[in-house]
Amino acid sequence: MKKHVVLYKKLSAQLMDRLQAQAKVTLIENLDAQGLAQLRTALPSAHALLGASLKLDPSLLDLAPHLEAIASVSVGVDNYDIDYLTERRILLTNTPDVLTETTADTGFALILATARRVVELANLVRAGGWQQSIGPRHFGSDVHGKTLGIVGMGRIGEALAQRGHFGFGMPVLYHSHSPKPAVEQRFNARYCDLDTLLQQADFICLTLPLTAETEDLIDARAFAQMRPDSIFINISRGKVVDEAAMIDALRNGQIRGAGLDVFEREPLDPVSPLLQMDNVVATPHMGSATHETREAMARCAVENLLAALAGERPANLVNPGAWKR
């Protein structure tokens, strides 16, 4: 008898056929009120879940007594109570590696767009405001040769350092939980404490996960350490930053601008002060949003899930303590 998989993310026809060949699949197309009700109805018989962007707390998962595995179509796993899953021996998998380069591309796009005021000036042209050669009032700042500061030196941080070092001749500073000698050798990068990075970097880029230790890591004190000409980039998680403090820093000229792909609450409220600031480039959590990468992420998640249901250890197991075979 096929095991029951509850899918709350649409898959390509090829991946859906592959999943349905080995499991009974319930597809929930939208995570609206009706979809969440459908999810609650399906959970009591579910052996596995596959999806993204849904917080699965213990009160919800308690409805699924037969649950064996969750395949998250993401790198971040802050939507899950990992201790709870491990205690229940529910395998949690994610999709690292396949989105590294694409997300780093997004980070560098935000660096360039913010420094060169691309969105602001494109809107100026669109509105008919380009009547003569632009002057100093509309000048941006160079990216090449400037100091790139990376907070969190995992896969995405390394990919960002590669772009900055080899593509733009940028000195690289980084802060992480421990030094990375291979990164230092390859990119001529320098490990430093967070305060030093905030004070010296021209571009301060967050690429670290959201954890209890990193929540609100960049607060009012951190913004006060930055220079008035520095540019802040966040492609990690919104809650790593105290958003109110960031808004104050932008308003008060503590920093020059910000390129943001993530926010405390998503989607971003249309009345957010961030959307009224010309020195902010805001994008809709699009870090991995290319056709190629999203398909690769979904394929990785399906492979993780099918391995778990077959009694095999998945390649991308987040909580190895749940492995009981």
Region 247-260 average pLDDT: 98
Region 242-249 average pLDDT: 98
DSSP-assigned letters across all residues of 226-248? S-TT-EEEE-S-GGGB-HHHHHH
- Measured from the Cβ of residue 323, the count of other Cβ atoms closer than 10 Å reads 13
Q: Which amino acid, one-letter code, is at 210?
A: L
Residue 218: which pLDDT band, with cuts at 50, 70 and 90?
A: very high
Give tens-digit pLDDT for 166-198.
999 999 999 999 999 999 999 999 999 999 999
Phi, psi (rounded to 5 degrees) for 229: -100, 5
Q: Considering 4, 163, 175, 237, which one is annotated as catalytic?
A: 237
d(CA 197, CA 151): 8
Q: Considering 215, 266, 292, 312, which one is annotated as catalytic?
A: 266
Q: Do residues 166 and 144 make contact, with C-beta atoms less than 8 angstroms apart? A: no
Region 231-235 average pLDDT: 98
- Here the tokens at position 238 are 């919104």
d(CA 19, CA 304): 11
Q: Do residues 63 and 43 make contact, with C-beta atoms less than 8 angstroms apart? A: yes
The CB-based long-range contact list for 77-84 (8 Å cut-off, 24+ gap) reads 77/209, 77/318, 78/209, 78/210, 78/211, 78/237, 78/239, 79/53, 79/54, 79/55, 80/56, 80/318, 81/57, 82/318, 82/319, 84/58
Q: Do residues 4 and 46 make contact, with C-beta atoms less than 8 angstroms apart? A: yes
Q: What pLDDT shows up at residue 324?
A: 78
d(CA 100, CA 314): 20
What phi-psi label fits residue 255: left (phi over 0), alpha (psi between -120 and 50 degrees) or beta?
beta
d(CA 172, CA 129): 37
Give tens-digit pLDDT for 16-63.
999 999 999 999 999 999 999 999 999 999 999 999 999 999 999 999
Q: What pLDDT shows up at residue 77?
A: 94
* Catalytic residue status for 285: yes
Region 63-70 average pLDDT: 98
- Here the tokens at position 192 are 């430093």
Q: Do residues 164 and 170 make contact, with C-beta atoms less than 8 angstroms apart? A: yes
Q: Which amino acid, one-letter code, is at 118?
A: V
Sign of CA dihedral 262, 264, 269, 274: negative
Q: Considering 285, 294, 299, 303, which one is annotated as catalytic?
A: 285
Residue 325: which pLDDT band, with cuts at 50, 70 and 90?
A: low
* Catalytic residue status for 158: no
- Mean pLDDT, the chain, as a whole number? 97
How distant, in Å, are the alpha carbons of 88, 188, 219, 252 from that of 224?
Answer: 44, 27, 9, 10
Q: Do residues 91 and 112 make contact, with C-beta atoms less than 8 angstroms apart? A: no
Checking if the pLDDT of 314 tops 90, the result is yes
One fold for both 3-96+291-322 and 100-282?
yes
Checking if the pLDDT of 128 tops 70, the result is yes
- Measured from the Cβ of residue 247, the count of other Cβ atoms closer than 10 Å reads 18
The CB-based long-range contact list for 155-158 (8 Å cut-off, 24+ gap) reads 155/96, 155/97, 155/100, 156/100, 156/103, 156/104, 156/107, 156/207, 156/235, 157/205, 157/207, 157/208, 158/183, 158/187
Checking if the pLDDT of 1 tops 90, the result is no
Sign of CA dihedral 314, 16, 13, 76: negative
Task: Judge if the upstream peptide bond of residue 181 is cis by omega within 30 degrees of 0.
Answer: no
Q: Which CATH number fits domain 3-96+291-322: 3.10.20.740, 3.40.50.720, 1.20.1560.10, 3.40.640.10?
A: 3.40.50.720
Region 299-319 average pLDDT: 97
Assess if CATH 1.20.1280.260 describes domain 100-282.
no
**Domain edges within the chain:** 3-96+291-322, 100-282
pTM exceeds cut of 0.75: yes
